[in-house]
Every structure is written in C-alpha cells, then in structure tokens.
Amino acid sequence: MAAGIALHEGQVGLWNLALNAAVCGLTVLLCLSGAVVWWKRRPAPS
C-alpha cells in the first residue's frame, strides 16, 4: 500500500511525475472537450 501512495503522489521519479501530470492534463482536456461538444449540440433556443 505504501508503494501505491508513492506512485499516486509522484514520488517515485521524474517519469512517474510526468505520467501523473499527463493523466491530470488529459482529465482536464476531457472535461473541456465535453463542454465544447455539449455547447455545439445543445438544443436550439425556441
């Protein structure tokens, strides 16, 4: 369990920190792209 915590916090090395940052960035990109897709396909105002 201690190894999992270190991996999660990015304390294992530079490659692990880069991987955690990439996952975080992709999560933000997924949220933003979801909002953009919704905005483009939202119902037309009546």
**Residue 9 confidence (pLDDT):** 80
Query: What's the pTM value of the predicted model, to 2 decimals?
Result: 0.69
**Residue 33 confidence (pLDDT):** 98
pLDDT tens column, 1-46: 888 888 778 788 888 888 889 999 999 999 999 999 999 999 888 7
Q: What are phi and psi of 43, to 5 degrees?
A: -60, 145
The b-or-e profile of 1-34 (16+ CB within 10 A means b, else e) is eeeeeeeeebeeeeeeeeebeeeeeeeeeeeeee
**Residue 18 confidence (pLDDT):** 87
Rounded Cα gap, residues 42 and 44, in angstroms: 6
